[in-house]
Structure 1
């Protein structure tokens, strides 16, 4: 899903991609997203192993991961006062309550079916 998001966002002149997040230890951390996602050229947006390395450059975080990762991203969005769009599914009831509560502090969109 990440590649599809990058490729779609890249085609939109109103969107600037500042980076992507990968699980810690992945060999492609540091790789430009344009190369990683098949755009065929560097787009000046690399892959990071920690959202804290790039969140300050972002206006909106787009997330399609797993519930535990999304909850961690949500905490960073609250800390840095950033907007969050997430297409993650499979949340537990207590996680959904935390997401709903976070929506009172930051703009937040939970899309339970994210189809590309």
Structure 2
């Protein structure tokens, strides 16, 4: 049995992870942690309930999980992961907003403690395929823009999925200027963020879950590749896959595609 602790257990994604872990035959939910968990309980198997803890470090010492699934916030995730990895516990992370320096630090910390960490900007298998297809299209359609849409509670922009999409496309596409060479923004940011000549646009509105469209333009035609999640259940097969695959990994694995 893989012993799982969910950090951020009361959030939208965390609560879905809790539910899914409880449904797995080879996993055991050993703890739920959330900064807002004081005096809170969550339902578990057979009509029982589990108290939600607020102290991650203390809970790690008591339950000794095999893996921590983290869906918290960009402003707290690094502190949490330092605690997890220093305890020699594996981590599967869906929180976004990491810098290159953050990733390097986590890789070093995981190796020093002989453990592994998976950071995936997106756990939806459809999103992984979207990125792969976009990279193939970019070889023939170098003019590309990315539009990502999320709920209005998301804290970081652009999304981690949009960033990794742009990074992957840049590996097969030469950096280039798009649009008119004398183009001027009448309002700052009107053309979106720029990544090696590609434009990334972030939409934040109630009603969205997490969708993305990659648009390619060429003479006389456009090509669109999109991923449209209906609900958060679409991420769960990827999260469960990450928990299982990371049991024998050491160091940082960035992107779910590395495990497929």
State yes or no: 1:101 paired with 2:105: no
Unaligned runs of 5+ in 2: 1-12, 125-234, 236-260
Instruction: Answer with 1 or 2: which has the greater Rg.
Output: 2
Tell me what 1:9 maps to: 21
Q: Give the alignment partner of residue 29 of structure 1, picking from 35, 38, 48.
A: 38
Aligned partner of residue 52 in structure 1, secondary structure: helix
Tell me what 2:119 maps to: 110
Q: Deviations over 1:37-63 (max 9, x none)?
A: xx78324x3211110231121111000
Tell me what 1:51 maps to: 56
Tell me what 1:92 maps to: 99
State yes or no: 1:65 paired with 2:77: no
Q: Mark the CA change 1:15 to 1:30 in structure 2 (over 3 Å): closer, same or farther.
A: farther
Aligned partner of residue 103 in structure 1, secondary structure: helix
Give the alignment's TM-score, normalised by structure 1. 0.79
Equivalent residues, number: 109
Give the alignment's TM-score, normalised by structure 2. 0.38
Quick check: 1:32–1:42 contact (8 Å CA) kept in 2?
no
Unaligned runs of 5+ in 1: none
Quick check: 1:9–1:15 contact (8 Å CA) kept in 2?
yes
Quick check: 1:77–1:84 contact (8 Å CA) kept in 2?
yes
Aligned partner of residue 77 in structure 2, secondary structure: helix
Quick check: 1:18–1:54 contact (8 Å CA) kept in 2?
no
Tell me what 2:84 maps to: 77
Q: State how far apart, in whole Å, the 2-side matches of 1:16 and 1:76 are.
A: 21
Quick check: 1:89–1:113 contact (8 Å CA) kept in 2?
no
